Amino acid sequence: MNPPPRTEAQETRNKSRQHVGQRRMEDALPGELSLHEESPLVRPYGDTTGDGMVQISFTLPVPHDKRAEGAALQLAAKMGMSPAILVHAKSIAPSFTFFVVYGAVTHLVDLREVEVVERDFDVLSARDTNALIRKRLRRKLVVVGACIGTDAHTVGIDAILNIKGFAGEKGLEYYREMAVHNLGAQVPIPELVNAAHDLRADAVLVSQVVTQKDAHIHNTTAMSAAFREAFPAGKVPLLIVGGPRFEEGSAKELGVDRIFGRGTTPGEVASYLVHAMIERPKGNSA
């Protein structure tokens, strides 16, 4: 049996769907490879492929008025957005305005120039982690954790250390072959150093969420210097920091062994500890 003829409305909807599909699968701009070819050069995507549309938000220290909105568009233009559309503006204080701007940029991203820190260890199960510590270390692995300085945000360190864990994984307190000491928030650096010394810590985990005026950077470098002054060469515990604003590739610059960013799970940290303490030769600290 032949299907009934399509109505005019059905034909219109079908053409509309085809049009949307064509717009979303547009070919690249002149000089770029098409969407169906692998290319290291990519352009931001907003409404259609290759349109270069991005959305940014920022705050200006000016009262919310027409002049402020013009200043926001001027800033967007100087950042290379053209045309730029102001989609949101709201006063957040007597002399501060928050903006959201949407517009096109001409910049391309070269994937060949992107540098990432590749994980150089396997993520193990809790059972395998415990077995390796028991077999190779022959004692419990001692971990000391804290938020240092004025940082009172314990969510990150608790997610890694507390038995409740994070993302469906148990924290390090769950591991039978680890002795975990969570010192909590706003711990002075000398107190952390003393605790690590008294507890004979193998690893020190520090969480830093407060980043105003680069507080996380200053605290981390100060902590690293304090540990290296207090401990003999080659006896410094593993120094590990985590937080949403750290650059994972800056561990050596900050004087620590490892940096973990947002989304890190307890299993990743536990696996790294096994890798660094057991599988890697001693004395390779940053």
Annotated catalytic residues are 164
Taking CA atoms, 29 is separated from 48, 52, 55, 160, 284, in Å, by: 12, 10, 21, 46, 48
- Concatenating the DSSP letter of every residue in 156-201 gives HHHHHHSTT-BTTB--GGG-TTEEEEE--SSB-HHHHHHHHHHTT-
Within 10 angstroms of residue 193's Cβ, the number of other Cβ atoms is: 20
What gap in Å lies between CA 62 and CA 273, rounded to an integer? 48
**First and final CA of the chain: distance in angstroms?**
76
Q: Which two tokens stand for residue 280?
A: 């890697």
